[in-house]
Protein backbone atom coordinates (compact mmCIF):
# COMPACT_ATOMS: atom_id res chain seq x y z
CA UNK A 1 0.00 0.00 0.00
CA UNK A 2 1.46 3.34 -1.08
CA UNK A 3 1.97 6.08 1.50
CA UNK A 4 -0.64 8.74 0.70
CA UNK A 5 1.31 11.51 2.47
CA UNK A 6 4.30 11.08 0.19
CA UNK A 7 4.82 13.54 -2.69
CA UNK A 8 6.59 11.95 -5.66
CA UNK A 9 7.77 14.27 -8.44
CA UNK A 10 6.72 13.13 -11.91
CA UNK A 11 10.35 13.46 -13.03
CA UNK A 12 13.08 13.55 -10.38
CA UNK A 13 16.77 14.11 -11.06
CA UNK A 14 18.97 13.38 -8.07
CA UNK A 15 21.77 15.84 -8.86
CA UNK A 16 24.23 14.72 -6.17
CA UNK A 17 25.28 11.16 -5.33
CA UNK A 18 25.51 10.11 -1.69
CA UNK A 19 29.13 11.22 -1.20
CA UNK A 20 28.60 14.58 -2.91
CA UNK A 21 25.43 15.02 -0.88
CA UNK A 22 27.26 14.56 2.42
CA UNK A 23 29.98 16.99 1.35
CA UNK A 24 27.37 19.54 0.27
CA UNK A 25 25.42 19.20 3.54
CA UNK A 26 28.50 20.15 5.55
CA UNK A 27 29.30 22.99 3.16
CA UNK A 28 25.78 24.44 3.52
CA UNK A 29 25.68 24.12 7.29
CA UNK A 30 29.12 25.64 7.85
CA UNK A 31 28.48 28.55 5.52
CA UNK A 32 24.92 29.37 6.54
CA UNK A 33 25.55 29.48 10.27
CA UNK A 34 28.43 31.92 9.72
CA UNK A 35 26.23 34.15 7.54
CA UNK A 36 23.39 33.96 10.05
CA UNK A 37 25.66 34.86 12.96
CA UNK A 38 27.05 37.79 10.97
CA UNK A 39 23.71 39.29 9.91
CA UNK A 40 21.97 38.83 13.28
CA UNK A 41 24.98 39.52 15.54
CA UNK A 42 24.95 36.10 17.23
CA UNK A 43 27.51 33.95 19.06
CA UNK A 44 27.37 30.14 19.11
CA UNK A 45 26.70 28.35 22.41
CA UNK A 46 26.07 24.78 23.56
CA UNK A 47 22.53 23.59 24.21
CA UNK A 48 20.72 20.73 25.99
CA UNK A 49 19.19 17.65 24.42
CA UNK A 50 16.75 17.38 27.35
CA UNK A 51 15.35 19.57 30.13
CA UNK A 52 13.60 18.95 33.43
CA UNK A 53 9.92 18.15 32.93
CA UNK A 54 9.07 20.28 35.98
CA UNK A 55 10.90 23.39 34.74
CA UNK A 56 8.37 24.48 32.11
CA UNK A 57 11.25 25.04 29.70
CA UNK A 58 10.22 22.56 27.01
CA UNK A 59 8.37 23.91 23.99
CA UNK A 60 4.76 22.73 24.16
CA UNK A 61 4.28 23.30 20.40
CA UNK A 62 0.52 23.04 19.79
CA UNK A 63 -0.11 21.61 23.24
CA UNK A 64 -0.99 18.09 22.09
CA UNK A 65 2.40 16.64 21.12
CA UNK A 66 3.88 14.13 23.57
CA UNK A 67 7.49 14.71 24.59
CA UNK A 68 9.83 11.77 24.97
CA UNK A 69 10.54 11.54 28.71
CA UNK A 70 12.73 9.36 30.87
CA UNK A 71 14.17 9.16 34.34
CA UNK A 72 17.79 9.59 35.39
CA UNK A 73 18.92 7.39 38.26
CA UNK A 74 20.51 10.18 40.31
CA UNK A 75 17.85 12.86 39.71
CA UNK A 76 14.49 13.20 41.43
CA UNK A 77 12.58 14.63 38.46
CA UNK A 78 12.04 13.10 35.02
CA UNK A 79 13.52 14.86 32.00
CA UNK A 80 12.10 15.47 28.53
CA UNK A 81 13.87 15.52 25.18
CA UNK A 82 13.27 18.99 23.83
CA UNK A 83 10.75 19.83 21.13
CA UNK A 84 12.65 23.08 20.62
CA UNK A 85 14.65 25.53 22.74
CA UNK A 86 12.28 28.51 22.47
CA UNK A 87 12.11 29.16 26.22
CA UNK A 88 15.49 27.71 27.22
CA UNK A 89 17.32 30.26 25.04
CA UNK A 90 15.73 33.17 26.88
CA UNK A 91 17.02 31.78 30.16
CA UNK A 92 20.44 31.36 28.57
CA UNK A 93 20.52 35.02 27.53
CA UNK A 94 19.92 36.02 31.14
CA UNK A 95 22.88 33.89 32.22
CA UNK A 96 25.21 35.22 29.52
CA UNK A 97 24.48 38.91 30.36
CA UNK A 98 24.60 39.97 26.71
CA UNK A 99 23.86 43.50 25.58
CA UNK A 100 20.82 44.66 23.61
CA UNK A 101 20.97 43.64 19.91
CA UNK A 102 23.35 40.76 20.65
CA UNK A 103 22.32 37.13 20.78
CA UNK A 104 23.07 33.43 20.60
CA UNK A 105 22.55 30.51 18.24
CA UNK A 106 22.95 26.79 18.69
CA UNK A 107 22.45 23.42 17.02
CA UNK A 108 19.13 22.12 18.32
CA UNK A 109 18.39 18.41 18.04
CA UNK A 110 14.93 17.21 19.01
CA UNK A 111 12.59 14.25 18.79
CA UNK A 112 8.96 14.92 17.88
CA UNK A 113 7.37 11.52 18.21
CA UNK A 114 3.91 12.63 16.99
CA UNK A 115 4.97 14.12 13.64
CA UNK A 116 3.16 12.86 10.56
CA UNK A 117 6.02 11.64 8.39
CA UNK A 118 6.27 12.86 4.81
CA UNK A 119 8.74 14.56 2.45
CA UNK A 120 9.23 17.49 4.84
CA UNK A 121 8.55 16.06 8.30
CA UNK A 122 10.72 13.71 10.34
CA UNK A 123 10.67 12.49 13.92
CA UNK A 124 14.23 13.82 14.15
CA UNK A 125 14.34 17.62 14.08
CA UNK A 126 17.53 19.61 13.57
CA UNK A 127 17.46 23.40 13.66
CA UNK A 128 19.60 26.42 14.12
CA UNK A 129 17.86 27.88 17.16
CA UNK A 130 18.69 31.54 17.73
CA UNK A 131 17.69 34.25 20.20
CA UNK A 132 18.76 37.87 20.71
CA UNK A 133 18.04 40.62 23.20
CA UNK A 134 15.97 43.57 22.00
CA UNK A 135 14.83 46.79 23.63
CA UNK A 136 11.27 47.69 24.55
CA UNK A 137 11.45 50.28 21.77
CA UNK A 138 12.15 47.52 19.21
CA UNK A 139 9.25 45.22 20.12
CA UNK A 140 7.51 46.05 16.85
CA UNK A 141 6.75 44.85 13.33
CA UNK A 142 9.56 46.90 11.80
CA UNK A 143 12.16 45.00 13.86
CA UNK A 144 10.54 41.69 12.96
CA UNK A 145 10.53 42.42 9.22
CA UNK A 146 14.13 43.67 9.17
CA UNK A 147 15.28 40.50 10.92
CA UNK A 148 13.44 38.38 8.35
CA UNK A 149 15.21 40.26 5.55
CA UNK A 150 18.57 39.61 7.21
CA UNK A 151 17.83 35.88 7.42
CA UNK A 152 16.91 35.89 3.71
CA UNK A 153 20.28 37.56 2.99
CA UNK A 154 22.06 34.76 4.86
CA UNK A 155 20.10 32.14 2.90
CA UNK A 156 20.67 33.63 -0.53
CA UNK A 157 24.36 34.32 0.15
CA UNK A 158 24.75 30.65 1.10
CA UNK A 159 22.87 29.65 -2.04
CA UNK A 160 25.10 31.81 -4.24
CA UNK A 161 28.29 30.30 -2.85
CA UNK A 162 26.89 26.77 -3.06
CA UNK A 163 26.06 26.91 -6.77
CA UNK A 164 29.58 28.11 -7.53
CA UNK A 165 30.89 24.80 -6.14
CA UNK A 166 28.03 22.52 -7.24
CA UNK A 167 27.21 24.03 -10.60
CA UNK A 168 24.39 21.64 -11.53
CA UNK A 169 22.16 22.83 -8.66
CA UNK A 170 19.27 25.21 -9.31
CA UNK A 171 18.66 28.15 -6.93
CA UNK A 172 15.09 28.20 -5.59
CA UNK A 173 15.29 30.73 -2.73
CA UNK A 174 14.40 34.32 -3.68
CA UNK A 175 15.72 37.09 -1.41
CA UNK A 176 12.81 39.49 -1.97
CA UNK A 177 10.11 38.43 0.49
CA UNK A 178 6.43 39.34 0.69
CA UNK A 179 4.93 40.13 4.11
CA UNK A 180 1.31 39.24 4.83
CA UNK A 181 -0.76 38.45 7.94
CA UNK A 182 -2.86 35.34 8.42
CA UNK A 183 -5.99 37.50 8.47
CA UNK A 184 -5.06 39.18 5.19
CA UNK A 185 -4.44 35.74 3.70
CA UNK A 186 -7.80 34.46 4.92
CA UNK A 187 -9.48 37.54 3.43
CA UNK A 188 -7.78 36.81 0.07
CA UNK A 189 -8.75 33.11 -0.01
CA UNK A 190 -11.75 32.65 2.34
CA UNK A 191 -12.91 29.44 0.66
CA UNK A 192 -9.55 27.65 0.77
CA UNK A 193 -8.04 25.58 3.55
CA UNK A 194 -5.06 26.89 5.51
CA UNK A 195 -2.55 24.80 3.50
CA UNK A 196 -4.20 25.76 0.20
CA UNK A 197 -3.88 29.44 1.12
CA UNK A 198 -0.19 29.03 1.89
CA UNK A 199 0.36 27.25 -1.42
CA UNK A 200 -1.38 29.98 -3.42
CA UNK A 201 0.52 32.84 -1.79
CA UNK A 202 3.96 31.25 -2.18
CA UNK A 203 3.20 30.24 -5.77
CA UNK A 204 2.49 33.93 -6.41
CA UNK A 205 5.38 35.57 -4.49
CA UNK A 206 7.96 32.72 -4.19
CA UNK A 207 9.17 33.89 -0.72
CA UNK A 208 6.63 34.88 1.93
CA UNK A 209 6.69 35.80 5.60
CA UNK A 210 3.30 34.85 7.02
CA UNK A 211 2.66 36.83 10.21
CA UNK A 212 0.43 36.71 13.29
CA UNK A 213 0.07 32.98 13.87
CA UNK A 214 -1.61 31.52 16.94
CA UNK A 215 -4.64 33.68 17.63
CA UNK A 216 -8.19 33.22 16.35
CA UNK A 217 -9.07 34.97 13.07
CA UNK A 218 -12.37 36.58 12.06
CA UNK A 219 -13.63 33.19 10.86
CA UNK A 220 -13.29 31.82 14.38
CA UNK A 221 -10.46 29.53 13.26
CA UNK A 222 -6.72 29.61 13.94
CA UNK A 223 -4.37 29.56 10.97
CA UNK A 224 -2.12 27.27 13.02
CA UNK A 225 -1.36 26.52 16.65
CA UNK A 226 1.40 28.25 18.60
CA UNK A 227 2.33 27.77 22.24
CA UNK A 228 1.10 30.76 24.27
CA UNK A 229 4.26 31.27 26.29
CA UNK A 230 7.03 32.13 23.84
CA UNK A 231 5.94 34.04 20.68
CA UNK A 232 3.82 37.17 20.84
CA UNK A 233 1.03 36.11 18.45
CA UNK A 234 0.88 39.65 16.99
CA UNK A 235 4.63 39.76 16.27
CA UNK A 236 5.57 36.34 14.91
CA UNK A 237 5.53 34.41 11.66
CA UNK A 238 6.87 31.72 9.33
CA UNK A 239 9.26 32.03 6.39
CA UNK A 240 7.67 30.09 3.52
CA UNK A 241 8.97 29.45 0.01
CA UNK A 242 7.62 27.84 -3.13
CA UNK A 243 9.58 24.70 -4.00
CA UNK A 244 9.07 23.61 -7.63
CA UNK A 245 10.54 20.12 -7.25
CA UNK A 246 7.63 19.15 -4.97
CA UNK A 247 5.25 21.83 -6.28
CA UNK A 248 4.73 22.68 -2.62
CA UNK A 249 4.99 25.32 0.07
CA UNK A 250 8.00 24.70 2.32
CA UNK A 251 8.38 26.32 5.74
CA UNK A 252 12.02 27.16 6.43
CA UNK A 253 11.68 29.02 9.72
CA UNK A 254 9.28 29.83 12.54
CA UNK A 255 10.20 32.91 14.56
CA UNK A 256 8.96 35.92 16.43
CA UNK A 257 9.30 38.56 19.09
CA UNK A 258 8.76 36.85 22.41
CA UNK A 259 6.02 37.52 24.95
CA UNK A 260 6.50 40.10 27.68
CA UNK A 261 4.70 39.70 31.01
CA UNK A 262 1.49 41.29 29.74
CA UNK A 263 1.31 39.19 26.57
CA UNK A 264 2.19 36.02 28.47
CA UNK A 265 -0.77 36.45 30.81
CA UNK A 266 -3.11 37.39 27.95
CA UNK A 267 -2.17 34.39 25.79
CA UNK A 268 -2.23 31.92 28.68
CA UNK A 269 -5.76 33.10 29.45
CA UNK A 270 -6.84 32.66 25.82
CA UNK A 271 -5.35 29.15 25.82
CA UNK A 272 -6.82 28.16 29.18
CA UNK A 273 -3.29 27.51 30.45
CA UNK A 274 -3.06 29.91 33.42
CA UNK A 275 -1.73 27.06 35.56
CA UNK A 276 1.59 27.46 33.75
CA UNK A 277 2.12 30.81 35.47
CA UNK A 278 3.32 28.87 38.52
CA UNK A 279 6.21 27.25 36.65
CA UNK A 280 9.73 28.66 37.31
CA UNK A 281 10.27 30.08 33.80
CA UNK A 282 6.89 31.80 33.77
CA UNK A 283 7.36 33.23 37.25
CA UNK A 284 10.66 34.79 36.19
CA UNK A 285 9.05 36.30 33.11
CA UNK A 286 6.05 37.68 35.03
CA UNK A 287 8.36 39.29 37.59
CA UNK A 288 10.53 40.99 34.94
CA UNK A 289 13.59 38.84 35.54
CA UNK A 290 14.11 37.83 31.91
CA UNK A 291 15.28 40.06 29.04
CA UNK A 292 13.01 41.08 26.16
CA UNK A 293 13.99 38.91 23.21
CA UNK A 294 13.18 37.70 19.75
CA UNK A 295 14.20 34.42 18.20
CA UNK A 296 13.32 31.40 16.14
CA UNK A 297 14.29 28.11 14.63
CA UNK A 298 15.62 27.53 11.11
CA UNK A 299 15.39 23.98 9.81
CA UNK A 300 18.82 22.60 8.95
CA UNK A 301 17.55 19.65 6.95
CA UNK A 302 14.85 21.78 5.31
CA UNK A 303 17.51 24.25 4.12
CA UNK A 304 19.68 21.41 2.83
CA UNK A 305 16.73 19.78 1.05
CA UNK A 306 15.92 22.97 -0.87
CA UNK A 307 19.48 24.09 -1.59
CA UNK A 308 20.53 20.59 -2.72
CA UNK A 309 17.40 20.15 -4.88
CA UNK A 310 16.25 17.02 -3.02
CA UNK A 311 12.75 15.56 -2.93
CA UNK A 312 12.68 14.11 0.60
CA UNK A 313 14.14 15.23 3.90
CA UNK A 314 15.43 11.70 4.39
CA UNK A 315 17.96 12.39 1.61
CA UNK A 316 19.76 14.89 3.87
CA UNK A 317 19.28 13.39 7.35
CA UNK A 318 19.13 9.94 8.92
CA UNK A 319 15.80 9.13 10.55
CA UNK A 320 13.12 6.41 10.70
CA UNK A 321 10.57 5.81 7.93
CA UNK A 322 7.89 3.26 7.18
CA UNK A 323 8.79 0.39 4.85
CA UNK A 324 6.11 1.61 2.41
CA UNK A 325 7.70 5.04 2.25
CA UNK A 326 11.21 3.65 1.78
CA UNK A 327 10.05 1.39 -1.04
CA UNK A 328 8.07 4.14 -2.80
CA UNK A 329 11.04 6.50 -2.60
CA UNK A 330 13.45 3.91 -4.00
CA UNK A 331 11.13 3.26 -6.95
CA UNK A 332 11.09 7.00 -7.65
CA UNK A 333 14.89 7.35 -7.48
CA UNK A 334 14.81 8.98 -4.03
CA UNK A 335 17.49 7.34 -1.90
CA UNK A 336 16.99 7.87 1.84
CA UNK A 337 20.08 7.98 4.05
Catalytic site positions: 59, 112, 127, 238, 251, 254
Q: What does DSSP assign to residue 99? A: P
Neighbour-count burial of 227, counting CB atoms closer than 10 A to its CB (0-12 exposed, 13-18 middle, 19+ buried): buried
Residue 183's contacts (CB-CB under 8 Å, 6 or more residues apart) are 212, 217, 218
Q: Tell me which residue of 16, 33, 247 sits closest to 119, measured CA to CA.
A: 247
How many CA atoms within 13 Å lie on the side-chain side of 1? 3
**Three-state DSSP class for 135?**
coil
Cα torsion 197, 199, 205, 206: sign:
positive
290: alpha, beta or left, given left = phi > 0 and alpha = psi -120 to 50?
A: beta
Amino acid sequence: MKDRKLMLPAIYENKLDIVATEIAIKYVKDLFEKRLAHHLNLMRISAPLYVSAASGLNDNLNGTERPVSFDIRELADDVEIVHSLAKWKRMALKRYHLEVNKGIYTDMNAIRRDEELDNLHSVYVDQWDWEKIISRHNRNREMLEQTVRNIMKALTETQSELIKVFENLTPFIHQDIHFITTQELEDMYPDLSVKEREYEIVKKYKSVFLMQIGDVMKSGQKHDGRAPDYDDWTLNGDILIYYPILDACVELSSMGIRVDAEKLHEQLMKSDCLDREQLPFHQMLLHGELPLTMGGGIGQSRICLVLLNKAHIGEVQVSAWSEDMIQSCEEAGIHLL
